[in-house]
Structure 1
Amino acid sequence: MSAKIVGIRGMNDLLPENTRIWSAIEAKARELFELYGYEEIRTPIVENSSLFTRGLGEVTDIVEKEMYSFTDKLNGQPLTLRPENTASVIRAVIEHNLIYNEPKKYWYFGPMFRHERPQKGRYRQFYQFGVEGIGYSGIEVEAEQIFMTKRFWNLLGLQKDKSPSLSLNCIGSKNEREKFKDCLVIFLNDNKDKLDEDSIRRLSRNPLRILDSKNSVTQEVLSQGPRIGDFLKVETLENFSQLCKLLDDKEIKYSINERLVRGLDYYNGIVFEWLSPLLGAQDAICGGGRYDSLMQSLGGKQADACGFALGMERIVNLVEEIGDIDYSRRLDVYLVNKGDEARRIAVLLAEQWRDVGISVKIDMTNVSLKAQMKRAAGSFARFVAVLTDLEVRDKCVNIRPLQKESVLTDKKKDRLESQQSVPLKKAGDYLLKCLMNEDVKS
């Protein structure tokens, strides 16, 4: 007997009971992005490795430890499974000259790949929604994207005390950050003996990432250190203040977290995260900010830009826990049949019903009617239709509601019945009227 082949750890199958909620959330997201005038863009999952080493920064955790990179055996080209999609979108914008005449707003959805230790909310293959506003310099685009995410929580039923909380920071321009970083490094070197091992490793390569350390002792040390706000120019602070004013006008609550820096080198200016304590240690459900230098670093002309990404798996976890959206199955009819002629007619009958928009699942096995009815009950269909050779002879089909909220009306007798025999030629119209007139919950 051959050994069983199993999936790769941290790369999960999405089974039908999972895809229902995924599809419902995807539909809400698409509705949201179109509401704001964003257009969908799709990029390959494999890119040149240099796209990410240049775009994300060579000393970021993603590039140093987490990328799935390999060499193409055909041509020796270094390739990488995309660990995020902003760099890929910007690459596409440059390659196809997409902002030659005006700024653009794009959204995307798809799988990303990082070689991390799998745990709840963090996987090696994971999915992200994202939006990118490219060619926009004003803080209005940041405000719009934050408004958008807040509206998304509402669409998912994550309102009031269920809503994720918003954290903001302004990390300034590259020059402002460099001045702050120099002072931070001096301070941390003076307190090196108090830092955790991971922070010591970052001190020489990417010291700003120490700011978001989860180590409580390191955080205590940082509380005594320099503040990035003290290194920002007046115009930078005024820009940040204008965004906060827009959020106040929209009555969106937020907190300012001066240690929020995000993990990628391309960020500058305003950055933000949405957090939910209900997710445990992996509490960041959305993150983004401004990246005005990324276009130029990837070989294009300088263009201001701002975007964010939403982690799909964490959204699903949150919606399953406390959300309020309908992701029930949408099957109208389960078609039970018994007998050779009934099987043949059932296939044709189902097509007729589908022609008028009725979803039908045919039982194509040879099990008993009782076993088929049991399957029908577990299918979450609104109705079951029973067709045997006897019904075929009489040119009719028996239709029965499967949901207790649903009944069938016999107008001629002016009474309610749990099952009716309907002529085959009229069964499609009859079912369609029942489905349109009855509020059947699955």
Structure 2
Amino acid sequence: MKYQRPKGTADILPGQSYKWEYIENTARKLFSKYRYHEIRTPMFENFNVFSRTSGDTSDIVTKEMYDFNDKGGRHVTLRPEGTAGVVRAFVQNKLYGPDTYKPYKVFYMGPMFRYERPQSGREREFHQIGVEAFGSDLPELDVEVIAMALDLLKQFGIKHVRLALNTLGDEETRDAYRKALIDYLKPHYDELSDDSKERLYKNPLRVLDSKDPKDKQFVADAPSILDYLTDNAKQHFDKVTSLLDALNIDYDIDPSVVRGLDYYNHTIFEIMVKSKSLGKGYTTICAGGRYNELVKQLGGPDMSGVGFGLGVERLLLFMEGENIPFPNLHPLDAYVVGIGDDTDTETFKVVQALRDAGFSADRDYLDKKPRGQFKAANRLNAEYTLTIGGKELASHKINVKSMASGEEVSVPLKDVKDNFNEVIEDSFN
């Protein structure tokens, strides 16, 4: 029998995994500057955590969830996105209490699961990095989250993006807009896709998010939610745009942006990039917004939240497609070559001493001849090659060669073991 990974999943191998590590480490460092702390939630949750929060007309709930009954008869699902699980943890652990500093800021990273047709940048197991901040209704927090998302992409060397901005307003706004949208779409009911027909009276905003060509012709001329904003909703959105202007952040107000989940209100946004590696036109790699009802829906107090999610696979495809360099996170500082069987113990002692001192070091484990060991040092891009032969062993010396300059010196073995840093500085600087 031939064993293969499940369809829609990927093996992240050495040579590729360092790129993931770089992205995760960069995100962690940046989030720390903004005072966001890591939270880790289970990869599976009660089905209702997502069906209640994502909306029963969303594609995630109706088509894409990996849900099943476990051996105890519990209806569970592999998480299709990160926010709902974080909110569940926030409520269950009473992180909204008076002793908790607000806004309560967290970030997460890890695998998510959606059953859909695998394609480039969209697997059935995919990975997200995201942030959530709870406990502030101020539009300033919306702007911080947007600015942080853009800052993160900038850290990766991504310079040209499109920030598409919209608002879903407050409850009164959405009620008025919902009625206007139904009135507009109702005459075209027979021409809509089957999915949009089902969504029209339950959640007409889902029709705006449809990718079906049948629906797009009507969506283009649909009423804009910006014409139905209440004074409070308009004031919130105006503050967001004025702060973005103050920070010199470019954006496009795009009423067609509605997001694919039902829990959003007020500010929503998508950050898009353009690259042949992701297909024609702009592709969203990071998106999010505000959700003022989600905590309450999952049994917590009436407390707002705002956040974003970033797709790691799409980010990697874009960076590789645009030839954005990835730093080498694991350079080899020293390769120790032993010439002769009697040097085996000493090379081991040198390698371990270098590692104990904080250097990355390696040696031969395949009984290679000296020539093969030197080739290995070159292939591994070692910064220094350290050589011990019978002569060096007898005189308690070791040869240290800078691979960049070709310069080589002979130094006491003890000096290398005790302070390799000083040896380098004295010999090659």
Tell me, yes or no, whether TM beats 0.5. yes
What corresponds to 2:127 in structure 1? Answer: 127
Any conservation in 2 of the 1:60–1:206 contact (CA below 8 Å)?
A: no
Instruction: Give the Cα–Cα distance (whole angstroms) in 2 for the partners of residues 94 and 437 of structure 1.
Output: 58
Offset at 1:193?
4.4
Normalised to the residue count of structure 2, the TM-score between the two structures is 0.91
Any conservation in 1 of the 2:57–2:206 contact (CA below 8 Å)?
A: no
What corresponds to 1:410 in structure 2? Answer: none
Instruction: Give the Cα–Cα distance (whole angstroms) in 2 for the partners of residues 310 and 316 of structure 1.
Output: 11
Which stretch of the first structure deviates more once superposed, 132-141 or 42-51? 42-51
Any conservation in 1 of the 2:82–2:112 contact (CA below 8 Å)?
A: yes
The residue identity in structure 2 corresponding to 1:268 is N
Equivalent in 59, 68, 84 of residue 66 of structure 2: 68
Instruction: Give the Cα–Cα distance (whole angstroms) in 2 for the partners of residues 115 and 439 of structure 1.
Output: 57
Equivalent in 407, 410, 416 of residue 421 of structure 1: 410
What corresponds to 1:11 in structure 2? Answer: 9
Instruction: Give the Cα–Cα distance (whole angstroms) in 2 for the partners of residues 436 and 62 of structure 1.
Output: 58
Instruction: Give the Cα–Cα distance (whole angstroms) in 1 for the partners of residues 369 and 23 of structure 2.
Output: 38
Taking the TM superposition and a 5 Å limit, the aligned residue runs for 1:39-438 are: 39-73=37-71, 75-101=72-98, 102-103=101-102, 104-159=104-159, 163-196=160-193, 198-203=195-200, 205-215=202-212, 218-278=215-275, 279-280=278-279, 283-320=283-320, 321-323=322-324, 326-327=327-328, 329-389=330-390, 391-402=392-403, 406-407=404-405, 418-428=407-417, 431-433=420-422
After superposition, give the CA deviation of every residue in 1:232-255 in whole Å (9 maximum; x if it has no partner): 212211210111000011111000
Instruction: Give the Cα–Cα distance (whole angstroms) in 1 for the partners of residues 428 and 122 of structure 2.
Output: 39
1:226 partner SS: coil
Instruction: Give the Cα–Cα distance (whole angstroms) in 1 for the partners of residues 211 and 289 of structure 2.
Output: 21
After superposition, give the CA deviation of every residue in 1:376-429 in whole Å (9 maximum; x if it has no partner): 212122122233455434433332233xxx33xxxxxxxxx6333332211245
1:399 partner SS: strand
Please tell me whether residue 37 in structure 1 is matched to residue 35 in structure 2: yes
The residue identity in structure 2 corresponding to 1:10 is G
Instruction: Give the Cα–Cα distance (whole angstroms) in 1 for the partners of residues 215 and 170 of structure 2.
Output: 25
Q: 1:335 to 1:71 in 2, by over 3 A?
A: farther
Instruction: Give the Cα–Cα distance (whole angstroms) in 2 for the partners of residues 189 and 49 of structure 1.
Output: 32
After superposition, give the CA deviation of every residue in 1:271-293 in whole Å (9 maximum; x if it has no partner): 01100121326811111001111
Offset at 1:437?
8.0
Any conservation in 1 of the 2:415–2:423 contact (CA below 8 Å)?
A: no
Offset at 1:93?
1.1
Instruction: Give the Cα–Cα distance (whole angstroms) in 1 for the partners of residues 62 and 420 of structure 2.
Output: 59
Any conservation in 1 of the 2:209–2:260 contact (CA below 8 Å)?
A: no
Any conservation in 2 of the 1:165–1:276 contact (CA below 8 Å)?
A: yes
Any conservation in 2 of the 1:273–1:288 contact (CA below 8 Å)?
A: yes
Which stretch of the first structure deviates more once superposed, 174-183 or 139-148? 174-183
Any conservation in 2 of the 1:358–1:432 contact (CA below 8 Å)?
A: no
Offset at 1:131?
0.9
Instruction: Give the Cα–Cα distance (whole angstroms) in 2 for the partners of residues 136 and 439 of structure 1.
Output: 55
After superposition, give the CA deviation of every residue in 1:287-322 in whole Å (9 maximum; x if it has no partner): 100111111111111101111111112222222325
Any conservation in 1 of the 2:136–2:304 contact (CA below 8 Å)?
A: yes
Between the aligned residues of both structures, percent identity stands at 37
Q: Which runs of 5+ in 1 are unaligned?
A: 408-416
The residue identity in structure 2 corresponding to 1:427 is V
1:283 partner SS: strand
What corresponds to 1:414 in structure 2? Answer: none
Q: 1:361 to 1:253 in 2, by over 3 A?
A: same
Q: Which runs of 5+ in 2 are unaligned?
A: none
What corresponds to 1:23 in structure 2? Answer: 21
Instruction: Give the Cα–Cα distance (whole angstroms) in 1 for the partners of residues 425 and 85 of structure 2.
Output: 45
Any conservation in 1 of the 2:258–2:268 contact (CA below 8 Å)?
A: yes
Normalised to the residue count of structure 1, the TM-score between the two structures is 0.88
- Superposed CA RMSD: 2.4
Q: 1:439 to 1:5 in 2, by over 3 A?
A: farther
After superposition, give the CA deviation of every residue in 1:130-151 in whole Å (9 maximum; x if it has no partner): 1111011100100111111222
1:21 partner SS: helix
